[in-house]
Structure formats: structure tokens, C-alpha cells
Structure 1
């Protein structure tokens, strides 16, 4: 295997607490009630504008000025994007092991790249990343296959020599449409079954992923 591309939120990192905090600060600015962490976590995956729109819909409906609400969220999130965010157990040693074995590693996320890079640097994970594709890198967002294919191209790989790892139906559909094998991390923010997209591997701890990739064990 030449390359592995990862989703970010809900796959490598549990970012819901910081997204939740920023969302509730935005809602407070607008005089709206706060949302629970679980509710906001369920809104993650389609990018920041979709997250903000879902938070607004859940607290009274669309804002009169959506762009202002979006700007407020971005401002609050930019102030502390990694205060409460943590990598999932086993992520750092798994990335270390894969990189040491010569596997090129990338990130394909719907998160704005400036937030993604800040968080990855703060958590000490950016050193493993050979390519990062986020909101605005290409015109499309996941589940369109273009971001994933662009990331693979930047890593010098293609759909025949790579694996995409994610936690959601959005990630599964992205891989399916790009014709890239998909591995599901079941410990993230999954809301719906991805069985229709035929993941090649399902795991709940990152140690298992490195074994699967490097040794071919634990397949299911």
C-alpha cells in the first residue's frame, strides 16, 4: 500500500468539544439557547457552513444573516480550535509506525485547512502529513470524490494503491465514488450504517489499523 488518507474530525481527532464550545458561543451571540455536545457532534462532517446551518435550524431556524452567524462561529473557533480536542487512542503511534514503514499519509477533510493545520500542529501530528486537502483546496467538498483524488495525486498515489480511513457515511460515500478502498473507524461520529459502501475493514482502535495495513491481520 502506497498511501493512506484519513478524514480528520471523528477519525484522527475528537474535535467535537471545541466545535461545541464555538457553536454555543455563536448561539449565545444570537440570543439562542445552547445545544448539547452530543447534538453538535451529530452535525459534524459536511463542513463548517453545514454545521452552523444545522445549529441554527436546531435552535429556531435560519438566521436573518447567515453569513454573520458563520463569521461569528469561525471567529470563536479560531480562538481555541485545539483547547479540548484530542487524538483518539493510538493515533500518534499508528501514524509513526505507518510513516516509518514508508506509507505516505494524507488528510482529506471538509474542515478549513487553516483550522486543520493549527490543530494538527498543536497535537504534534502535522509532521506525519504529506498532503492536506480541506474546504477550498478544490471547489468540491466530500462526498464528491474530487478532494480525495486530489489528495492522492499530491501523495503520488492513486485509487489502486491507497486506503481512505474515515468515521462516517460521508467518508464511506467519498471513498466509494472515488473507487478507493475504505476502512471505517467505528469510534467516531458515525450516525448511519455504511454497509452499502462495503468497507474493507472496520476497527475501533488504531493499533488494529496499523496491524491490518502492515501485517494483514485482523481482517473482517
Structure 2
């Protein structure tokens, strides 16, 4: 049996509209002009701290200055309910059902904080698929450090494990954990896919069960 561990934002769900809106609301509450959505979207993937440091820097402020803590507090207060515009990518639910039918165990390793991760999974009806979920604040380190991914591997208890993600961070995490990596090309990656280490790329979730089966066969 194979365990398949997924990233969340940009892989299973498109949450960028809510993250962007949340960041811009907090910016405006603190007296700054909103930033272009595409700019904020480019900051997603390395955790809330990186996102807000980048937002502050783009607003002409010191990234690690006195504004970071109050901004992070305001952002996090809203984050657990920031899912009104978040959607599941096409084909995800059918694919998860197929993977379960193939005997795969499923988990999530994301840099999204654990409480918002659980909240959005419940909201979208995905929670029951994933008995193991680790977030960006589950440990003192986050991806690309392999610690949370390896913890998910241990909890799922399968020798064959595949990681599925959409970004440079996910590719680096898979390398650090020494796991095969499948990259979803319709997420938030900024680097050309051919420049990232991966076993295979896919742009349609209908392709994923076949890729998992092929890797499982070795």
C-alpha cells in the first residue's frame, strides 16, 4: 500500500483569493494601500510569517520591524474563517475517492497554520479524507525543512510514500525528505517546472491515480 501526502494551498485548493483579501484588509486597517493580488499571491507558500514580511517590505516597511507582530495578530484572527472564496481544484474529490479505492492512505503537509488548515478542510468537506494533517506551526520548523513531512510519513505508517505539491517549497521538501514528488502545474509555482526536481508533472487531477500507480510499481 502507498501513502500519498499532499500540500494544501495551490495543490488541493485555490485559496489565494481569500489569502490576498485577508492580507489587504489588514494592510488597510493599518493605514496602508492594498497591494496587487498577483503580488501577494507570489508570497504564498512559505508560511504566514514570510507572507506578512513580504507584504510589509512591498509596502515600504521594515519586514521584521514593530509592525509585524500586530499585523500577524490581525491576519491570524481572520484566517480561520477566510475561506468564502476558496475552491477545490477540479477533479480533486473524484481523485481522492479513487486513491482511497486503490488502498492509498492520505495525509496533508502544508505551511498553512494548522487551525486554518483544519477549518478550510472542514468547510470544503475534505476533512474525512485526511487522518493526518500537519501545518506550518505544528513544529518549530516548516517546509522546506522535512520534519513535518517525515512526521506525516511516520503517522501514516506506509513504506511507499509519495508527496504531491505545486511549488518550489514542495519540491525542496520532497528532496530533503528523500521522497518521490509529483507536481501539480496549475498552482502557485513561479519557477518553470522543468527547473524543479520532480518525478512527474500533471495539470489535471484525473492523471494523478495513474502516476501514483506507476510510482508504486517502481
> Which TM-score applies when normalising by structure 2?
0.93
Matched, 1:73 2:63: no
Q: Give CA-to-partner distance per residue, 1:79-114, whole Å, 9 cap, x none.
A: x32100001111111011101221000000011111
Deviation at 1:27, TM superposition (A): 0.2
Alignment-derived partner of residue 204 in structure 1: 203
Superposed, which structure 2 residues align to 1:47-196 within 5 Å? 47-62=47-62, 63-78=65-80, 80-158=81-159, 161-195=160-194
Alignment-derived partner of residue 16 in structure 1: 16
Structure 1: how far apart are the matches of 2:138 and 2:66?
A: 29
Moved over 6 A (4+): none
Maintained 8 Å contact 1:176/1:197: no
State how many pairs are aligned. Answer: 213
Alignment-derived partner of residue 2 in structure 1: 2
Unaligned segments of structure 2, at least 5 residues: none
RMSD of the TM alignment (CA)? 1.5
Maintained 8 Å contact 1:162/1:180: yes
Maintained 8 Å contact 2:181/2:199: yes
Q: Give CA-to-partner distance per residue, 1:185-207, whole Å, 9 cap, x none.
A: 00000011354553111000111
Query: For 1:107, what is the secondary structure of its paired residue?
Result: strand
> Which TM-score applies when normalising by structure 1?
0.92
Maintained 8 Å contact 2:162/2:212: no
Unaligned segments of structure 1, at least 5 residues: none
Alignment-derived partner of residue 45 in structure 2: 45
